[in-house]
Structure 1
Amino acid sequence: MEETMIKCNNVSFKYRSHEGEEERYAVNGVTFEVKKGEFLVVLGHNGSGKSTIAKHMNALLLPSEGTVIVDNLDTSNSENLWRIRAKAGMVFQNPDNQLVATIVEEDVAFGPENLGVDPEEIKRRVDESLKKVGMYEYRRHAPHLLSGGQKQRIAIAGILAMKPECIIFDEPTAMLDPSGRKEVLSNIKDINERYGITIVLITHYMDEAAQADRVIVMDDGKIILEGNPREVFSNVKKMKEIGLDVPQVTELCYELKNSGINIDTNILNVDEMVNALCQLR
């Protein structure tokens, strides 16, 4: 039986946007689990609650109602805080906000140093983490001279050096150009597949979600769809209703089906589309 890494049970989070205003729900009654070793994407447009739920997964936020359990540790117990953050690292949208040192290897060493790791072990972890993200040859470079994608890979290395079991990525490619996005996503997939680290990726990009094991779609603080990418993206009408796209080939199949052509709408990429069209002959 698969073990659970994170369990959110009936989680709600309320906030006041301005003094005197009534409380609003950013997250409203959300329940789901993340399995160990899974690559889960949480998808939604801005304001859907996806980033708020992400910050609950390593106790940056605590639920107003409900519970969040990270590897059997309840986030509401303040004594669990450091253990939770050692297990579940977080990478944010802007890599510049996460880089703290003037040399790449010093930046990657920052996390394990704060955990009190032995200096020899830190050096080994820094080298290992930089190799995992393909940035070892840049170890003596200044981070501010690197590209956006490279900076984000250094931020990922800094989390890897802390030896987490899970990494939560809160829109890590939102500020990158297409090539930076591609290199960071390929890195994330590699970390998941090669090292078995659990990944939770918060995004609004369909092509990123299409590569996950499972996708959760949020809207207005609630989960409205859940399943593997094929199951989720075949709900073209529902996705469009909440202002999200689906992969272009999936939408094309949906339109062809609506025009009376008998074609599978469970299609995610161009090769599958070509095969489906060939079978129509």
Structure 2
Amino acid sequence: MEDKMIECNGVIYRYASSDKDDGKLALNGVNLQVNKGEFLVILGRNGSGKSTIAKHMNALLVPYDGKVYVDKLDTSDERNIWDIRNKAGMVFQNPDNQIVATIVEEDVAFGPENLGVEPTEIKQRVDESLKSVNMQDYRRHAPHLLSGGQKQRVAIAGVLAMRPECIIFDESTAMLDPSGRKEVISSIKELNGKHGITIVLITHYMEEAVEADRIIVMDEGKIIMEGNPKSVFPNVSKMQKIGLDVPQMTELAYELKNSGIDIRKDILTIDEMVDELCRLK
């Protein structure tokens, strides 16, 4: 039995509205487990509930009904909040909202300082965290002069310095250009692969989801598909129906198959497509 990092049981959440009974149901009975060490991607169009479930994972929101546990700690018990936020760090969409200091290394030190960590230990954590995201050469720089991707990596280093077991990325690449996205995704993959940190990535970029161990697709506050990338993405018409793309190569394979070419449906990358076309020759 795999060890669970996060467990959501029958989670219901409603955003308040002016009419008391008419708040929009953002989560409608979500059951979800995230295993320790897993790289999980949650996909869904705007309003599907994916960011709302992310905010439940470090107790920024608590369920109207149902339960969320982070490493067995109940998020609705206020006494657990401090421990939960130390276990599950969060990186948001806009890095500017997460950067608080005028020098990179001071920004990364901010979290552990608030936790009351010893100064020598803080220095070590800052060094290690900046190295983990390849930003050690920028430690004396002013964050506001960095590129979007660099700022986001500093924000990740700030979360890392608090030594979380799990990091939730809530559309953390949405405001970045393609090269910034690439930088951040390679940092995320390294944190998961090398350091064993549990990753939950909320995104609407399908190419980012190809790397996941498991994908969850949400629509209208519910989970409608779940599985590894090779089992989820071939459902092209179902994905399109709920307003989501699939990786370009999966879509190409789908079109080729529909036009009568005997090709595998579960192709995700250019390399896989090249191999498959060579096999067909």
TMscore range, shorter length: over 0.9
Partner of 2:102: 102
Partner of 1:79: 79
Query: Partners of 2:180 and 2:235 in 1: how far apart?
Result: 29
Partner of 1:92: 92
Identity %: 72
Query: Partners of 2:124 and 2:268 in 1: how far apart?
Result: 40
Partner of 2:47: 47
Partner of 1:269: 269
Aligned-residue offset at 1:137: 1.2
Letter in 1 for 2:157: A
Partner of 1:199: 199
Query: Partners of 1:147 and 1:216 in 2: how far apart?
Result: 31
Confirm whether residue 145 of structure 1 aligns to residue 142 of structure 2. Answer: no
SS at match of 1:76: coil
Partner of 1:28: 28
Q: Which runs of 5+ in 2 are unaligned?
A: none
Q: Which runs of 5+ in 1 are unaligned?
A: none
Aligned-residue offset at 1:216: 0.2
Partner of 2:135: 135
Partner of 1:188: 188
Confirm whether residue 279 of structure 1 aligns to residue 279 of structure 2. Answer: yes
SS at match of 2:22: coil
Partner of 2:117: 117
Matches within 5 A, 1:215-230: 215-230=215-230
SS at match of 2:59: coil
Letter in 1 for 2:202: I
Partner of 2:214: 214
Letter in 2 for 1:230: K
Aligned-residue offset at 1:277: 1.8
Aligned-residue offset at 1:279: 2.3
Letter in 1 for 2:264: D
Query: Partners of 2:103 and 2:88 in 1: how far apart?
Result: 25
Partner of 2:247: 247
| Residues 7-33 of structure 1: per-residue CA shift (max 9 Å, x gap) | 011111012344557122111111010
| Residues 230-267 of structure 1: per-residue CA shift (max 9 Å, x gap) | 11101111000001000111111111111122111011
Structure 1 consecutive aligned stretches of length 4 or more whose deviation exceeds 4 Å: none
Letter in 2 for 1:6: I
Partner of 1:10: 10
Query: Partners of 1:125 and 1:256 in 2: how far apart?
Result: 51
SS at match of 1:212: coil
SS at match of 1:67: strand
Aligned-residue offset at 1:228: 0.3
RMSD: 1.0
Equivalent pairs counted in the alignment come to: 281
Cα distance change, pair 20–11 in 1 and its aligned pair in 2 (3 A): closer
Query: Partners of 1:18 and 1:216 in 2: how far apart?
Result: 32
TM-score, with structure 1 as normaliser = 0.98
Partner of 2:231: 231
Partner of 1:162: 162
